[in-house]
Amino acid sequence: MQIHTINMIKIKRRTITENKSLEQTGLPPLIQRLYLSRGITDPKQIDYRLKHLHTAQQLSNIQNAANIVIDSIKNSKKIVIVGDFDADGATATALCLRAFRAFGHHNIDFLVPNRFDFGYGLSTQLIPILQDMQCDLIITVDNGISSIDGTQAAIDAGMQVIITDHHLQAEILPNADAIVNPNLHGDEFPSKNLAGVGVVFYLLAEIRSQLNDLNWFVENDLIAPNLAQWLDIVALGTVADMVGLDDNNRILVTEGIKRIKAGYTVVGIKAILKVAGKEIDKTTTETFGFVIAPRLNAAGRLEDMSIGIELLTTDDENKAFLLAQELDTINQQRKEIQKDMQKVADSVVNELDKIKKLPDGICLYHKDWHQGVVGLLASKVKEKTNRPVIAFAPENDESVILKGSARSISGFHIRDALVDIETNHPQLMHKFGGHAMAAGLSINRENYEDFRHIFNQYVNNALTEEQRQHTIETDGELDSIDLCLAVAEELQSHGPWGQNFPAPLFDGWFNIIDKKEVGTGHTKLTLQTQDFSKRISAIAFGIHPNQFKSEDGKNQITYKLDINEFRGRRSLQLIVQDIIY
C-alpha cells in the first residue's frame, strides 16, 4: 500500500450525545451541539470560574513538598529551579521565580540544562554546576520523573530534591524528598492533564496557603500575592504543551486569556504580541499555539531558553521588547530550518512512496541532521504518512549516540510503546521519556537498525486498521446561512478550544471561483457554496493551488471559521485544513 493511497482521508463526524441539560443555558443550538459532541453534559463543565478548580490538597505529596520549601524559605536556603527547554518548562520556571520573590525569598536561581550538552532533566552532569551555585534545594519543573541517577547524585551531594512533573512515571521512581505529579500511580488528583506549569502552580498555591497560615506575610511586611495574577503564564504553558483541555485546564486557560485580553499580563507577553503585530485583546488559544509558543520553543531548540525565561520574569518594558525581538529573530531562523525540514520530509515521503508496503512504525536517520529540529521532521512525516515516526540525529559530530524525537498518531501511546520495548529489550535504549503523542530517546548508533526493526514490528502488532486509515473527525456540514461573521465570532467566544477539546472543524463541498498562490506553497481562494448563495474567502496554509481541482470544480474540504481583519474591517474567512480526495 503506497502513501498516496494511505493518505486517502476518511471523514468521521463527531457523535452527539443525546442530552437536554444544555437547553437551559440559552446557548445557540450550534454551540450546544458542539459542546455535546465534546462530552459536555452538565452546564457546570462550562462554568470557568476559579472556584471550580480542583483543590491542591488532592495532589499526593504536595503538603510534604510545601513543608520542605517553607523550611528553605525560613532559613534563607539557596533554591534552584531546574527547568526544561520548551515553553512549558520556561513558563513553569518563570512562574516559580515570580512567586518565590513575592513570597519574600530572593536566594533563588534557575538552571535550564542545554540538552545538547547535558541531556534532558536533572542529569548527573548538572550536580557539579548546582554545587557551584551553592544549591540547597532543587525543584524540578516539567521534568525529573525519570531522573533516577541525577536525583540520587544530588541527594548524595547533600542537596534536597523536590520533583514537580506531569510526565508518566516508570516502574522505578527517583529517590527524591518529594514528588508532585498527578500521574503518579495512586495519585487521586482528578485531572491527569495538568501541564508542568499547572503542577507547579498548584504547589505554589499550597506554599502560599501554608505561609499565610503561619502569618508569614504579616510578620515580614509583605502583601500575600494572588497567584491568579499569573494565570496568563499558566495558560500559555498549558496550551503550548498541548495537554488535554479537560474541565480543570479549561478554567486555567480561560482565566489566563481573560487577563491578557484585559491588559493584565506580564510585559513579556505584551512584548511578544507587539513584535508579532498581534492585538492583545484578540488573544485566543491559537495565539498561544501559533504566535507565542513557537518563539519560546525556538529559543529552546536553537539557542538558550534562558532568553524566554528572562522575558517572562522582567517587568522592564524596554528590556522585554528587546528580548521579544531577539526571540523573533531566532524564530525566523527556526522557520528557515523548518522550510529545509519540509523539503527533507517531502523527499523522505517520496522515497517511502516507492516502497510497496509502508512500514507501520517509521524510523529515520541521517548523519547531517540536527538533533534540535528532528522533532519538526518527525511531525511533518507523521502528518504525511499517518504513522508513528521517530527521527534520529547524532548527539554531536563525533558521537556514537543518536538522539531521537518521536511523534505519534491518535490512539497510539508512544511512551507506552517505548516502555514495552525497554522491558523486552533492556539494552537497546539509553534513556527515554515523554507522553502519549511525543517522546524523546537516545540509542547507540550501532543499534539503530535493530531498533528500527523492533519499533516497526511493535507498531505493526499494535495498530488497528482503523488507526492506519487517515480519519479526520469533523462537526459535520454547516448550512449556508451559518457561514457568516456572526457565527465565527460565536465560535471564538465559546472556547477555549485545544487538545482533546478541538476547535470546531466542519466539512463540505464548494466550487472554486478563484485560486492563487500566496507566500510559498499557500493558496488564497474564493469559494462558492453548493446552493450558489454565497461566495466566501478562504486560505489554505501549506496547500499548493495545484492540489485543488480546477476552477468551477467541486472540492470537498474540511475547514474552520476564522475572522479576517484588514484596515479595521472584519469579515469571515475559512481556514482550509484538508482536501478530501
What share of the chain in percent tops pLDDT 70?
96
- Residue 409, pLDDT above cutoff 60: yes
Q: How many domains is the chain built from?
A: 2
Which of the four pLDDT bands, split at 50, 70 and 90, describes residue 312? very high
Which of the four pLDDT bands, split at 50, 70 and 90, describes residue 1? very low
Has residue 207 been placed in a domain?
yes
Q: Name which residue leads in pLDDT, 480 or 565.
A: 480
**Which strand (E) or helix (H) includes residue 335?**
helix 317-352
Give CA separation, 165 vs 69, 139, 140, 170, 188, in Å.
16, 10, 7, 13, 15
In sequence order, what E strands does 112-177 have? 137-141, 160-164
pLDDT confidence of residue 374: 87
The boundaries of the domain holding residue 524 are 475-579
pLDDT confidence of residue 567: 79
Q: For 338-372, write each residue's pLDDT tens digit.
A: 777 777 777 877 777 777 678 899 999 988 888 77
The mean pLDDT of the chain is 91
Q: For 41-88, write each residue's pLDDT tens digit.
A: 999 999 999 999 999 999 999 999 999 999 999 999 999 999 988 899
Alpha-carbon torsion (464, 470, 472, 478), positive or negative: negative
C-alpha cell at 246: 479537560
pLDDT confidence of residue 560: 97
From 330, 359, 383, the end of a domain falls on 330
Has residue 112 been placed in a domain?
yes
Has residue 449 been placed in a domain?
no
Residues 6+ apart with CB under 8 A from 47: none
Has residue 450 been placed in a domain?
no
- Residue 4, pLDDT above cutoff 50: no
Q: How many CB atoms lie within 10 A of CB 535?
A: 13
Which of the four pLDDT bands, split at 50, 70 and 90, describes residue 2? very low
535's torsion region: left (phi>0), alpha (psi -120 to 50) or beta?
beta
Residues 6+ apart with CB under 8 A from 86: 142, 240, 241, 296, 297, 300, 305
Highest mean pLDDT among 103-117, 123-137, 286-300, 361-375: 123-137
Task: Give Dmax (Cα) for the chain.
Answer: 76
From 283, 305, 330, the end of a domain falls on 330
Rounded to two decimals, what is the model's pTM? Answer: 0.89
Question: In terms of C-beta density within 10 A (0-12 exposed, 13-18 middle, 19 or more buried), how is residue 540 classed?
Answer: buried
Has residue 558 been placed in a domain?
yes
Query: For the sheet containing 429-434, what is the strand order?
Result: 362-365, 389-394, 401-407, 438-444, 429-434
Q: What's 324's domain CATH number?
A: 3.90.1640.30
Q: What is the mean pLDDT of residues 167-183?
A: 93
From 304, 330, 356, the end of a domain falls on 330
As a whole number of angstroms, the distance between CA 20 and CA 313 comes to 46
As a whole number of angstroms, the distance between CA 127 and CA 130 comes to 5
Mapped onto helix, strand or coil, the DSSP state of residue 54 is coil
Q: For 510-535, write each residue's pLDDT tens digit.
A: 999 999 999 878 999 999 999 989 99
Cis peptide before 496 (omega within 30 of 0): yes
What share of the chain in percent tops pLDDT 90?
71
Has residue 97 been placed in a domain?
yes
Has residue 114 been placed in a domain?
yes
pLDDT confidence of residue 321: 97
C-alpha cell at 46: 462550562
Q: What is the mean pLDDT of residues 465-474?
A: 85
Q: What's 502's domain CATH number?
A: 2.40.50.460
Mapped onto helix, strand or coil, the DSSP state of residue 15 is coil
- Among the residue ranges 315-329, 432-446, 500-514, the one predicted with the least confidence is 432-446
As a whole number of angstroms, the distance between CA 491 and CA 475 comes to 12
Q: For 281, how many CA atoms within 13 A lie in the half-sphere containing its CB?
A: 1
Has residue 428 been placed in a domain?
no
